Amino acid sequence: MTGRQIAASFRWHHVAGPGALLRFGRALALDRSGATAIEYGLIAALVSVATITVLGHLGIAISDIFLIASLDVQEAAEKALRQCQEVGSNCDKKTN
């Protein structure tokens, strides 16, 4: 029974006499059309929370990867500079 049908039956029973509110309450309790929308809303909320959690952890992991790469590049540059200074050449000279 749709919401319009429930409302139409309520109006008809309201005119018909006593017990109309009780019949309307029973019809409303038996109506399951809104339950599906609430279930879909809860599923969407759970998916959103899971997505945010996963992306948060993924962002931290990616940040760690770039930090490690940056430290490795810095260490390699310092090692190359030390080797250049040991040889005694002009280490500041840019080559093409």
Q: What is the pLDDT of residues 40-66, one digit of tens each?
A: 888 999 999 999 999 999 999 999 999
Does the model's pTM come out above 0.85?
no
Confidence of residue 71 (pLDDT cuts 50, 70, 90): very high
User: How high does pLDDT run on average in the chain?
Assistant: 78
HEC-encoded secondary structure of 14-66: HHHCCCHHHHHHHHHHHCCHHHHHHHHHHHHHHHHHHHHHHHHHHHHHHHHHH
State the average pLDDT over residues 78-85: 87
pLDDT for 19 equals 72
